[in-house]
Amino acid sequence: MHAAISPKPERKVAFLTGITGQDGSYLAEFLLAKGYEVHGLIRRASTFNTSRIEAIYSDPHEQDARLFLHYGDLSDASVLARLLARIQPDEIYHLGAQSHVRVSFDMPEYTADTTGLGTLRILEAIREAEIPARFYQAGSSEMFGSAPPPQNEQTPFHPRSPYAAAKVFAHHIAVNYREAYGLYITNGILFNHESPRRGETFVTRKITRGIASILAGKQDKIYLGNLDAKRDWGYAPDYVEVMWLMMQQDEPDDYVIATGEAHSVREFLESAFRYVGLDWQDFVEIDPRYFRPAEVD
């Protein structure tokens, strides 16, 4: 899995955390199509978790290989520093995190360590090694929390979960490193964005996979939490292109990315079940375990 780092080619080199996730896999595809050499950070596991990038991965020993994976973890500062010093990327896209909001209430310390401090560790590695890379920090609309809409780059944050609080820390430490050390750092504050590669525990995928299982006779019910929660849902491949565009600007800045239109989980349910000719109320049950201790208004 570890690939020897050859002398830096003329083409641009990108380093991605979270490369095996929804956004990371789409971004890797996008960058490869633009001629980049792409390096991704993955965690060591007993089973491979690279299904989203199988279509673009090739043996690193092949002469034309441009995608390389490296074992590491956002909790291990020494590995991050060593990798960045070796790879010397032109662009760093920091997408890795414990990104499930409901899970963050059950694992607040882990969420803070990976989602919050993980960002600081990468920024310190860039600063100490004096790597002249541009840095993209993946923010989240969850940082706004209970702040009333419409929300923009000037809206104060009011996080309502450990995940959101960790993202707020990551955002502010990124701004601090930009201002204190003159680093090129851009924050993308993205509202929800979905795709077939969305994690299966997220509500849109729970619904679509649940419907498929119901139609196949493998499942009778879908168990969900708050159906009145509203979200602004976009399309992930569009959003990763916007990440890249942010990094091509002359000066770094912070950007909110959204469709500008919010819909409730109930509306999503109605639309999805209507598409297959079923009444969602016959197949959906509410499970209080999926309620968040503090919901985004």
Residues designated catalytic = 140, 142, 163
- Paired strand residues for 15: 39, 92
How many beta carbons lie within 10 A of that of residue 16, not counting itself? 28
Residue 294, helix vs strand vs coil = coil
Q: Helix, strand, or coil here: 73?
A: coil
Judged on CB neighbours under 10 Å (0-12, 13-18, 19+), 117 is middle
The secondary structure of 95-160 as a DSSP string is: --S---HHHHHHSHHHHIIIIIIHHHHHHHHHHHHT---EEEEEEEGGGTTTPPSS--TTSPP---
